[in-house]
């Protein structure tokens, strides 16, 4: 396999002049080292689990905030990403391939070889992007691509077709994407259907003012013929009681408006998203005996950053609705598709130097929402070194056992640019658990969490 790959790459390189194509490699080689007093929390996404559809959850199962023997851990990890881009001389067509190797700890069994571990290699991107004939202002993207929608809703990759156009200050796109993970003939009679997403995205830049982005995404997911034991929720959903064979259909429509702009040294941004839709249980029943549930939820974020000579001060607020009653026939908690939750300065709860191994990977806590103010201060010591501190007050939007306070996280960081492409850094965070954090502990008394990450990252 290696010989074939080398030969193919060499052939492509030799053929480049004749094909009138420019071929470039890009890379992001991230080496990460992490220590946590409760490492089991760092790899547990029970509090959010991006892509999980939490419905009718009365508690927050799957996590114990009490520190036990051997919970602490130190590890090293690699995550290497390579991107190959081939572009013709006229810039009218290009092909993109993206790969990810790693995301595995040093010495992990089957972790650093190709011994059958399907997490060691990821095919991230594979698409063609070309100018639409007779319309130079439009392009068509076909294949597995970065979707590029709002960061709180859908910012990862998906396979589909996307038409993009840019005319002056106005840009817009139409997209269709498919998540067809089911099949027939698998012995279980389970087939996923209607796993389609349709997206409309419009961006307008006001002269001397903000850039506004309006978007609408409709997602229709269904599953039929799956046997569910009474009282047992489908895996990964948190859905309440079903009876016998069930056929579900989940229709979700997100409508959103986001904007960003600058007034002097003040930078600002905002996002507002409204979610509506319906979940039909088919011949099953939800908690409370309902056969269908109505969705109505929303998310809001506002953030401002003021830049001094060498310093940046940021303040923001994130709120997503939660569900306060699992038996009223309404689903009032915000859900998303697939998003990256970095950028808040968190190390323990949200993200750090890697975009996985995080306690919360979506802008909500199961179906209880999120209520979170946050602040950050960063300072450039010189053109190579910077330091910073952050603070986050993390609460759920709806109470769990009459509590909503997960805790306060404080974090500090420093980075140094060794060369133009090579950066090293370290972050440390401490979570002071609140009343809800204690409620999640096996003995009613949760322990605070310390976590630190360091990285050596080469990007080209």
Task: Give pLDDT tens digits for 297-321.
Answer: 999 999 999 999 999 999 999 999 9
What sections of 38-85 are H helices per DSSP? 39-42
Domain ranges of the chain: 2-459
pLDDT of amino acid 457 = 95
Q: Please, what is the average pLDDT of the chain?
A: 83
- Model confidence at 5, pLDDT cuts 50, 70, 90, reads very low
115 pLDDT higher than 90: no
Beta bridge partners of 317: 302, 373
* DSSP 8-state secondary structure symbol assigned to residue 338: B
Angle, vertex CA 315, rays to CA 309 and CA 318, nearest 5: 150
pLDDT of amino acid 110 = 55
Q: Which CATH code fits 2-459?
A: 2.40.160.100
Coil vs helix vs strand at 438: helix
Cα 224 off chain centre by = 27
198 pLDDT higher than 70: yes
| CB 158 within 8 Å of CB 219 | no
pLDDT of amino acid 44 = 62
pLDDT of amino acid 250 = 83
93 pLDDT higher than 80: yes
Strands 21-36 and 449-459: antiparallel
49 pLDDT higher than 80: no
Task: Give pLDDT tens digits for 313-351.
Answer: 999 999 999 998 877 888 899 999 888 788 899 999 987
Region of residue 148 (phi > 0: left; psi between -120 and 50: alpha; otherwise: beta): left
* Dist CA 37 CA 339 (whole Å): 27
pLDDT of amino acid 121 = 80
**How crowded is residue 309: how many other Cβ atoms within 10 Å of its Cβ?**
7
pLDDT of amino acid 350 = 86
| CB 217 within 8 Å of CB 202 | no
- Model confidence at 227, pLDDT cuts 50, 70, 90, reads very low
């Amino acid at each position: 396999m290696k010989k074939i790959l080398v030969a193919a790459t060499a052939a492509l390189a030799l053929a480049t002049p004749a094909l009138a194509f420019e071929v470039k490699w890009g890379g992001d080689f991230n080496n990460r080292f992490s220590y946590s007093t409760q490492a089991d929390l760092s790899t547990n996404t029970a509090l959010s689990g991006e892509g999980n559809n939490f419905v009718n959850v009365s508690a927050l199962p799957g996590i114990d905030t009490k520190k036990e023997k051997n919970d602490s851990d130190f590890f090293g990890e690699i995550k290497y990403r390579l991107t190959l881009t081939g572009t013709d001389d006229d810039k009218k067509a290009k092909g993109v391939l993206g790969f990810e190797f790693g995301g595995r700890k040093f010495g992990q069994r089957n972790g650093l070889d190709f011994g059958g571990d399907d997490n060691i290699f990821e095919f991230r991107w594979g698409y063609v992007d070309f100018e639409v004939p007779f319309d130079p202002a439009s392009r068509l993207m076909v294949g597995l691509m970065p979707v590029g929608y709002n960061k709180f809703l859908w910012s990862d990759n998906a396979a589909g077709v996307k038409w993009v156009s840019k005319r002056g200050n106005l840009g817009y796109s139409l997209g269709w994407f498919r998540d067809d993970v089911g099949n027939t003939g698998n012995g279980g009679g389970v087939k996923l259907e209607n796993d389609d997403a349709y997206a409309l995205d419009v961006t307008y830049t006001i002269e001397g003012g903000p850039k506004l982005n309006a978007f609408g995404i409709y997602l229709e997911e269904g599953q039929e013929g799956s046997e569910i034991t009474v009282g047992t929720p489908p895996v990964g959903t948190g859905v309440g009681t079903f009876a016998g064979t069930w056929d579900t259909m989940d229709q979700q429509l997100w409508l959103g408006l986001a904007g960003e702009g600058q007034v002097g040294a003040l930078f600002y941004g905002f996002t507002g998203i409204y979610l509506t839709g319906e979940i039909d249980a088919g011949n099953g029943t939800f908690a409370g005996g309902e056969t269908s549930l109505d969705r109505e939820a929303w998310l809001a974020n506002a953030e401002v950053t003021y830049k001094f000579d060498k310093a940046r001060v940021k303040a923001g607020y994130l709120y997503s609705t939660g569900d306060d009653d699992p038996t009223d026939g309404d689903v009032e908690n915000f859900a998303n598709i697939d998003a990256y939750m970095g950028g808040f300065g968190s190390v323990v709860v949200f993200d750090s130097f890697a975009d996985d191994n995080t306690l919360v990977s979506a802008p909500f806590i199961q179906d209880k929402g999120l209520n979170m103010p946050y602040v950050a201060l960063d300072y450039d010591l010189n053109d190579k070194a910077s330091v910073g501190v952050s603070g986050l007050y993390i609460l759920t939007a709806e109470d769990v056992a009459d509590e909503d306070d997960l805790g306060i996280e404080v974090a500090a960081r420093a980075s140094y640019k060794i060369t133009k492409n090579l950066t090293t850094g370290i972050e440390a965070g401490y979570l002071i658990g609140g009343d809800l954090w204690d409620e999640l502990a096996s003995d009613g008394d949760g322990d605070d969490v310390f976590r630190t990450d360091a990285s050596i990252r080469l990007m080209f």
